[in-house]
Chains A and B, each alone.
Chain A
């Protein structure tokens, strides 16, 4: 349905040639904008209707006082289903510390949260197919688990700003919820507006880049330079390129779609997606308010190395 819409607008209404670069880019752009925004609205609305969004306060209650492996698994799963705004990272970090949740577990949560969320998962399935979606989600969960464990070895406690330890959190107050159908509908509509407003720029940018890649980058160039699975430098290259770039997890999907379509290896694509979604300068600057640079540098290195390993493994396994 979305392919036809793309064809109709690009080749019919605008009268572009379907074999031209511009035509192919425009067709890709229209197709993906309509498809992804349609899915976004539907998925967020349904989640809102079910009130499936779990608040950070609840996550904290679930995780505190559990044995470490269980705490970490819970933190990652909850991180994956809570789309929290990065401006909440600081209170979240402090809240976890105050609840006595180990720092390594908190890092696992911070890694999982931007990389995986249920909205991105649904869009991944419909754009790239469930096999790739499952690969992305599973390797993301694994990186979050291992990444947190490795962070712990570096004793990150020594780098936490002193004031963080002094903050005492008050009693958690329950907010009354209107659980009637009307209340749920209003809540769901609110979620759609807030989340779409927050991420639309990333999604459009991702689709734009994907469209340019789709229309203008020749396949032969891709095979020579980004390489198939046997090009070892492609993966670290992708991760390094992804670090300064930032986009919401949903926004990376169209770029990945275009790259895979041109024959970029699966592992290289996954590594780039993870690096763009989970590692970003703005996020680092926000976290700087609670932890000092050495810990941030370790955090970034641990993640970058994990993404490279993920990329290499998949290039090796999936041929």
Chain B
């Protein structure tokens, strides 16, 4: 089970990112635990300033804007 965190203050882009990752991991059959992080203090503790950001495990793979489909696929 891979832990995936979506870092963002709850803006529209963050929700889209969440849905996109959910959809792609489901269709690939990857088991992930998706988690929304909306607390600003926690988001920034990962060194992220541009939201939405994405962490796979404890590694930051994306920040600022909605990730592309091909980028998401390359993470899993």
- A contact set with B: CB distance below 8 Å: 55-57, 60, 84-85, 87-88, 90-92, 94-95, 98, 163, 166-173, 175-176, 186-187, 189-191, 194
List, sorted by A's number, 12 A–B pairs whose CB atoms are closer than 8 Å. Answer: A55-B49, A57-B49, A85-B64, A87-B11, A91-B49, A91-B50, A98-B44, A169-B45, A170-B47, A171-B47, A173-B59, A190-B67
Closest to A59 in B: B49
Alpha-carbon distance A98/B49, docked complex (angstroms): 11
Report which of A168, A169, A173, A186 forms a contact with B68, defined as CB distance below 8 A: A186
**Is A90's CB under 8 angstroms from B50's CB?**
no
Cβ contacts under 8 Å, B50 to chain A: 55-57, 84, 88, 91-92
The answer, among A90, A171, A186, A194, for a CB contact under 8 Å with B66, is A194
Are A170 and B46 in contact, CB atoms less than 8 angstroms apart? Answer: yes
Give 19 A-B pairs besides A91-B40, A175-B60, A175-B61 with Cβ atoms closer than 8 angstroms: A57-B50, A60-B49, A85-B64, A90-B40, A91-B9, A91-B43, A91-B48, A92-B50, A94-B40, A94-B44, A167-B40, A167-B41, A167-B45, A168-B45, A170-B47, A176-B61, A186-B70, A190-B67, A194-B66
Q: Does A56 lie within 8 Å of B44, measured CB to CB? A: no
Q: Kindly state the separation between the CA atoms of A168 and B46 in the bound complex, as whole angstroms.
A: 10
In the complex, the answer to whether A173 meets B49 with C-beta atoms within 8 Å is no
**B41 → chain A, closest Cβ, in Å?**
5
Contact of B47 among A88, A173, A187 (CB under 8 A): A173
Residues of B within 8 A of A (CB): 9, 11-13, 40-41, 43-51, 59-68, 70-71
Contacts of A187 in B (CB 8 A): 68
Q: Report how far A166 CA is from B32 CA in the complex, Å.
A: 32
Q: Shortest beta-carbon distance, B51 to chain A, in Å?
A: 6
- Within the complex, what minimum Cβ distance (angstroms) separates B46 from chain A? 5
Q: Is the CB of B13 within 8 A of A169?
A: no
**Which single residue of chain A is at the shortest CB-CB distance from B67?**
A190
A55 to B51, CA, bound (A): 11
Least CB distance, A212 to chain B, in whole angstroms: 29
How many Å from the CB of A97 to the closest CB on chain B? 10
Q: Flag if B70 contacts A91 (CB, 8 Å).
A: no
Distance (whole angstroms) from the CB of A111 to the closest CB of chain B = 18
Q: Which residues of B have CB within 8 Å of A191?
A: 65
Q: Which chain A residues border B66 with CB–CB below 8 Å?
A: 194
Kindly list chain A residues whose C-beta atoms are within 8 Å of the C-beta of B12. 87
In the docked arrangement, what's the CA distance between A91 and B63, Å?
12
Instruction: Pick the 10 closest A-B CB pairs, nearest first.
Output: A87-B11, A173-B60, A95-B49, A172-B47, A190-B68, A170-B47, A170-B45, A56-B49, A169-B44, A167-B41
Measured between beta carbons, the chain A residues less than 8 angstroms from B70 are 186
Contact B45 A173 (CB under 8 A): no
B67 CB to nearest chain A CB (Å) = 8
Residue numbers in B under 8 Å from A194 (CB-CB): 65-66
